[in-house]
Structure formats: structure tokens, C-alpha cells
């Protein structure tokens, strides 16, 4: 079973851009960016990937650069 990750900023549940992967103690940590709102968030998963996981907003949403 694959868990769908929702953006905590805009609730988008499609494909997100993976920016970084690291270990935080025993947690697998992933930094994602939402393609719809450019919001960044962290996704944490326990080592087995089955018990606990959670999402934390990472800073403010980034504004899109508007060409002049």
C-alpha cells in the first residue's frame, strides 16, 4: 500500500518534487516541494515504513518568479 502525500499548504495530493533525503535519528526524512503552490514540507517515516509517519510545513510558501 502506497501512502498518498498531501501538501499541508494547499492539500494537493499529486506528484511532489523530492528535494532532499536524510536520516533524523531513526526516522527517514524527506523534503518535498509542491508543484502547485511551491510550498515546502518535510515527510518523516519510521524505519519499517508501517507504523508512524507525519508531515511538517517547512517555512513559508515560495512565490513564483514572474517574468518582466
Instruction: Note the pLDDT of residue 66.
Output: 56
- 7 lies in a domain? no
Cα 16 to chain centroid distance, Å, stands at: 7
- 51 lies in a domain? yes
Instruction: Note the pLDDT of residue 47.
Output: 82
Instruction: Note the pLDDT of residue 1.
Output: 38
- 10 lies in a domain? no
Give the chain's residues under pLDDT 70: 1-3, 49-56, 59-68
- 3 lies in a domain? no
C-alpha cell at 5: 502525500
- 26 lies in a domain? yes
- 40 lies in a domain? yes
How is the beta sheet containing 40-45 ordered, strand by strand? 17-24, 27-33, 40-45, 53-57
53 near 61, Cβ under 8 Å? no
C-alpha cell at 54: 507525519
pLDDT digits (tens, 9 = 90+) for 6-15: 888 888 988 9
Contacts of 60 (CB under 8 A, 6+ apart): none
- 68 lies in a domain? no
Number of continuous H segments (helices) and E segments (strands) in the chain: 0, 4
The total of structural domains in the chain comes to 1
Instruction: Note the pLDDT of residue 26.
Output: 83
pTM above 0.75, yes or no: no
Amino acid at each position: 500500500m502506497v501512502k498518498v502525500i498531501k501538501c499541508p499548504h494547499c492539500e494537493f495530493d499529486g506528484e511532489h518534487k523530492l528535494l532532499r533525503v536524510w536520516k533524523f535519528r531513526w526516522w527517514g526524512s524527506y523534503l518535498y516541494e509542491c508543484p502547485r503552490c511551491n510550498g515546502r514540507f518535510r515527510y518523516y517515516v519510521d524505519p519499517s515504513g508501517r507504523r508512524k509517519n507525519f508531515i511538517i510545513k517547512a517555512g513559508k510558501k515560495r512565490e513564483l518568479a514572474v517574468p518582466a
